[in-house]
Chain A
Amino acid sequence: MARIVALILGVVLTGVAGLWAADSGTVEEPSEQPILVHAVMCESIEEQTPKNETIIFSVSARDATCFTYFNPVPKNTLVYHNWYRQDRLSVKVKLRLRSPSWSTFSRHRIRASDKGPWRVEVTGEDGTIYAVLRFSITD
């Protein structure tokens, strides 16, 4: 089994969340769903930010990382990083989001046999697809 390391990084950005609420300027009920602000494949995470965004991972690299940042997160909830090799689900990583905003990532340990097109589907608890990140593992 691929060694998937899921780290949850809490970033409290209440000011940003309040700003978002003010900008909406509507009388509608605030959404219960977290908003995905940034999603990217990268080589590593340094100081809570993605390092070396890329869509190609060499088998000689250690691992591939999928970074997501949600803001706001109205209430504590779960999201999933579903890693697909072509159309076959390889692994489903459950990640916790904490209010008011949260960034989180999952990591896939690359093996020589993993070469080919991949994608990560970022979904909510109810199956809502927030983003699809496509990349390849090559020589």
Chain B
Amino acid sequence: MEALAQFLNTMRWQDLLDIALASYILFRFYALFRGTFVFRVVTGLVFLWLFGRMAVFLGLIVTSWAIQAITAVAAFIIIVVFRHEIRSVLQAKNIKSILWGFSPKTSKTPIEIISSSAFELTRNHIGALMVFPGEDNLEEIIQKGIPWEGKISSEMILSIFWHGNPVHDGAIIISGDRILEVGAVLPLSRRKDLPSYFGTRHRAAAGLAESSDALVLVVSEERESIMVAKGSDLIEIPNVESLVRLIREHSGETESSPSNEVPQRVRMVAAALVSVMLVAGIWFSFTRGRDTIIALEMPIEYMNRKPKMEIIEASANIVRLQLSGSVTLIKNVRPEQVQVRLDLSDGVVGKNVYTIANKDVSLPPGIDLIAVKPQTIELTLDVFTRKRLPVQIDWVGKLDNGLRLESARINPKAIEVEGSSLILRDMSTIYTQQVPLENLRETGTINIGIALGAAALKTAPGSQGRVAVEYVIRRR
């Protein structure tokens, strides 16, 4: 008990939030996609992934390779194959229902009314064509009928297909508890294998079923029979119960009954609990596994450098980080997830000493920093500046003993130099390149370049890199 309390004490509030959020996401995924193929396929993929881990553990080379390849493209497969289901969840529901709503898939379509009405039509020798759309968009397949938007009732269905009604020959489109359209024209099937006694209604039902995932119900006035077209099948329906079952299967709806409500709630609570347990289990296995230490060498990133401030010298550009965490988390640490950033906003020109603290190291969640080497970084910061410096000639060699170099005039006397303020701060003169005295015999003029000793120095734009020297030589 004490150990449990001690263990729980090590948890941060972020960890609890982490588990709660992940559990809720998992639970919402179940609530939104339960009963659909997406949920089943994702569940299957989870098992596939677990199987793959086992295969890796057991050293099954080809099996693990194949499963890894499948699971790697699983997300892509889910998005492509189940785009309709995903779209219907994301589009049909508002944000509130996605985040909170429990939309149990109880039957909204009055399937019993429709089914009994269909059999009522056969008894009255009235033909009918009813379309129950699936996920496919039918707008491009059927010729649009007359908008109706009427709530389904037995009387309405009978009156629409009554012989005296101008739209009785067309199909009705049913969605939920509404008849959306009446008098819709369906594409006729071109199949040659349909029985000869099939009339236009049957061919229209077969035509739409072939080219979409819709279910089409045909009531034949001559043969007093009911058939359902789905895909390439045309099934004769013997009774109301069979029809109810077929339509229900097509719409993916469950029977709504008060007795169903309680198990539904129980299922959701159970799903919520399972989500929490599953996520908590994964979380603990990830974060509280065997503690491991690794060392990473990371480059230091310098942030918030003042404008024009340059780094002249750094005692180190790479630091060695010692990180600890569970085996799973440590194994998944990628270098791009780890950053060492030093804030230079308070840097001044000259030498600055920075100590790398925890706040300067960005790590993935669950990974702790144990040590940094070196922990202090010495940076020499500088700004580039300009300074006007007088020019002095750098005479070298030996002048003939009989001569005396009396004076020299330089033009220009000073030039503007650009470079590190630290270097320029201590400079009061810029020198020319060396001028050998051996060649000088009499008064004259020479043109000589400026010697910019430090690499970080250059003559400022507009300033000349050479000077003219007029010198005067006298005989002794």
Contact = CB atoms under 8 A, between A and B. Distances in A.
A139 B407 contact: no
B437 A56 contact: yes
A139 B397 contact: yes
Given A43-B404, A54-B406, 13 more contacts: A54-B404, A56-B395, A58-B399, A117-B393, A117-B394, A117-B395, A117-B431, A132-B390, A134-B392, A136-B393, A136-B395, A136-B396, A139-B396
Contacts of B429: 86-87, 117, 119, 134
Contacts of B428: 87
Contacts of A58: 398-399
B427 interface: yes
29 contacts: A52-B476, A53-B406, A53-B407, A54-B404, A54-B406, A55-B395, A55-B405, A55-B406, A55-B407, A55-B408, A56-B437, A86-B429, A86-B431, A87-B426, A87-B427, A87-B429, A115-B396, A117-B392, A117-B394, A117-B429, A117-B431, A119-B392, A119-B429, A132-B390, A134-B392, A136-B396, A138-B396, A139-B396, A139-B398
Contacts of A53: 406-407
Contacts of B406: 53-55
Q: Chain A binding site: helix, strand, loop or mixed by DSSP? A: strand
Interface string A40-80: 00010000000011111010000000000000000000000
A56 B400 CA distance: 11
Contacts, number: 53
A16 to B, nearest CB: 25
A138 B426 contact: no
A52 B476 CA distance: 8
Contact of B405 (A54, A117, A134, A139): A54
Contacts of B431: 86, 117
A138 B395 contact: yes
A114 to B, nearest CB: 13
Given A86-B429, A87-B429, A119-B429, A56 B394 contact: no
Contacts of B395: 55-56, 117, 136, 138
A58 B395 CA distance: 11
A53 B404 CA distance: 8
B404 to A, nearest CB: 5
A138 B427 contact: no
Given A55-B408, A87-B429, A138 B399 contact: yes
Contacts of A139: 396-398
Contacts of B476: 52
Interface of A: 43, 52-56, 58, 86-87, 115-117, 119, 132, 134, 136, 138-139
Contacts of B408: 55
A55 B427 CA distance: 21
A56 B405 CA distance: 6
A138 B393 contact: no
Nearest to B405: A56
Interface string B374-395: 0000000000000000101111
A56 B399 contact: yes
A52 B401 CA distance: 13
A56 B407 CA distance: 9
Ranked nearest first, the 8 interchain pairs of A and B with the lowest CB-CB distance are: A136-B395, A139-B398, A56-B405, A134-B392, A54-B404, A117-B392, A53-B406, A117-B394
Given A55-B405, A87-B429, A138 B398 contact: yes
Contacts of B404: 43, 52, 54, 56
B190 to A, nearest CB: 100
B453 to A, nearest CB: 10
Interface in B416-434: 426-429, 431
Interface string B54-88: 00000000000000000000000000000000000
B395 to A, nearest CB: 4
A136 B394 contact: yes
Nearest to A116: B394
Most buried by B among A55, A119, A139: A55
A117 B404 CA distance: 17
Contacts of B427: 87
A55 B476 CA distance: 14
A119 B393 CA distance: 11
Contacts of A119: 392, 429
Question: Which of B393, B395, B426, B429 is packed against the most chain A CB atoms within 10 Å?
Answer: B395
A55 B406 CA distance: 6
Contacts of A116: 394
A124 B399 CA distance: 34
A58 B398 CA distance: 7
A118 to B, nearest CB: 9
Contact of A138 (B390, B407, B437): B437
B403 to A, nearest CB: 9
Nearest to B394: A117
A29 B345 CA distance: 52
Contacts of B393: 117, 134, 136
B394 to A, nearest CB: 5
A134 B471 CA distance: 13
Contacts of A54: 404-406
A86 B394 CA distance: 10
A121 to B, nearest CB: 9
A116 B394 CA distance: 7
Contacts of A117: 392-395, 429, 431
A107 B392 CA distance: 21
